[in-house]
Amino acid sequence: MTDYLVPRLPLGEWVDAFVSWMTTTFRPLFRFVKDLLVGVYDALDVVLSSPPFWVVAVVLAALAFFVKGWKLALGSLVGFVVIAGVDQWDNAMDTLALVIVAAVIALAIAIPLGIWAARNDRVSAVVRPVLDFMQTMPAFVYLIPTVVIFLTGPVPGIIATIVFAMAPGVRFTELGIRQVDKEVVEAGHAFGSTPGRILRQIQLPLALPTIMAGVNQVIMLSLSMVVIAGMVGAGGLGEPVVAALQRVDVALGFEAGLAVVILAMFLDRVTSALGDRAPVARALAAARV
């Protein structure tokens, strides 16, 4: 009965036609974007994969020591030894390179967009439903148009990861700036500060702990999406996960999954520690003591 009352809306066909038109019309632009992303990814992958395992592991552990302390450094070093011990080190470095490229681009778009949304209610009203759409759409769906446009390889994985992971960066940046005490902002205006100076010297420093929480979420979502992108040949830890699923190989699936967990814990702890090092976060922590 529904067939007679509500005609079928060919939304899927419209989107398919739009993607086909876009692929044909902007083919040179997409080829340029693909070459650029492949170049950046390959360069970063060479930096992470070429040195001996222990060199990269010590450098990453030193980063953990700098941001948090010896406990995180020691735990990270043990985790990296476990990844190498299950023969997933090269895949882990490929995944880390994908995460870094995708997260940096996502944050470069998300933070300015979040600032704009915080300073303009109309922009916020437009951006919010788009972010809702991006966050609720199943992650696998993002891979379909990116494969049509960029074929297989790391690039469709990077593009899909950017779209999938960008939303929390926008939301947390907007939230952090809107939560800044209005009296502090008005005091800045009273002293004759320009809007740009108020943003740089008052709003962003006070919102930094919240923005860093968004950075953490962007990185974690990037890692989860990069693993899914192994289905389209993005490489990294997603490749053995997909292979284990296809062959019902429990051993390979556990080893690759464990490597993903260790990498996720390292990235989470490091980015959280960076947020705790912000002056405002330190002042709040001191006030609680």
pLDDT of residue 288: 64
Residue 80 lies in a domain: yes
Structural domain tally of the chain? 1
Residue 225 lies in a domain: yes
Pair 139, 219: CB distance under 8 Å? no
| Residue among 218, 203, 232, 225 nearest 267 (CA) | 218
0.85 exceeded by the pTM?
yes
Pairwise CA distance, residues 287 & 119, whole Å: 29
pLDDT of residue 2: 53
Q: Which DSSP symbol is given to 232?
A: G
Q: Percentages helix, strand, coil for the chain, rounded to the nearest 5?
A: 85, 0, 15
At 146, which CATH number?
A: 1.10.3720.10
- pLDDT tens, 104-140? 999 999 999 999 999 899 999 999 999 888 888 887 7
Q: Note down the domain range covering 161.
A: 12-287
Residue 5 lies in a domain: no
Residue 276 lies in a domain: yes
Residue 6 lies in a domain: no
* Sequence-distant (≥ 6) Cβ neighbours of residue 42 within 8 angstroms: none
Residue 74 lies in a domain: yes
Q: Which two tokens stand for residue 225?
A: 């999406």
Pair 131, 167: CB distance under 8 Å? yes
Residue 201 lies in a domain: yes
pLDDT of residue 176: 92
pLDDT of residue 289: 60
Q: What is the DSSP secondary-structure string of 155-192?
A: HHHHHHHHHHHHHHHHHHHHHHHHTS-HHHHHHHHHTT
Residue 254 lies in a domain: yes
Pair 235, 154: CB distance under 8 Å? yes
| Residue among 167, 259, 169 nearest 216 (CA) | 169
Residues in the chain, pLDDT under 50: 1
